């Protein structure tokens, strides 16, 4: 679990934010893929989106972005 103390350290790490931003971009790209996807591929794409969401949540993406904006 990502504690506030760990998050305070990571919020200043540019490489960590870049990693989370890349995962966020992959999530957004997968969402765009849904628009033209066949019904066979929707479930597969949805799984990728869920994976990205889970990683972003575990990594505290929203908190990191918010704290970076406040500093």
Express each pLDDT in 45-61 by its tens digit.
999 999 999 999 999 99
Q: What is the pTM of this model?
A: 0.86
CA dist., res. 32 & res. 62, Å (int):
21
Q: Which residue range(s) make up the domain with 11?
A: 4-70
- Token digits for 54? 């889970």
Mean pLDDT for the stretch of residues 3-11 = 83
Query: 59 with 2: CB under 8 angstroms?
Result: yes
**What was the pLDDT predicted at 24?**
98
For residue 12, give the DSSP letter.
Answer: T
- What is the signed CA dihedral for 40, 45, 48, 50, rounded to 10 degrees? -100
Domain count across the chain: 1
């Amino acid at each position: 679990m990502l504690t506030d103390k760990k998050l305070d350290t990571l919020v200043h790490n540019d490489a960590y934010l870049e990693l989370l931003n890349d995962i966020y971009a992959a999530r957004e790209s997968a969402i765009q893929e849904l628009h033209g996807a066949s019904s066979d591929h929707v479930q597969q794409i949805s799984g990728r989106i869920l994976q990205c969401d889970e990683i972003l949540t575990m990594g505290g993406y929203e908190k990191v972005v918010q704290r970076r904006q406040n500093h």
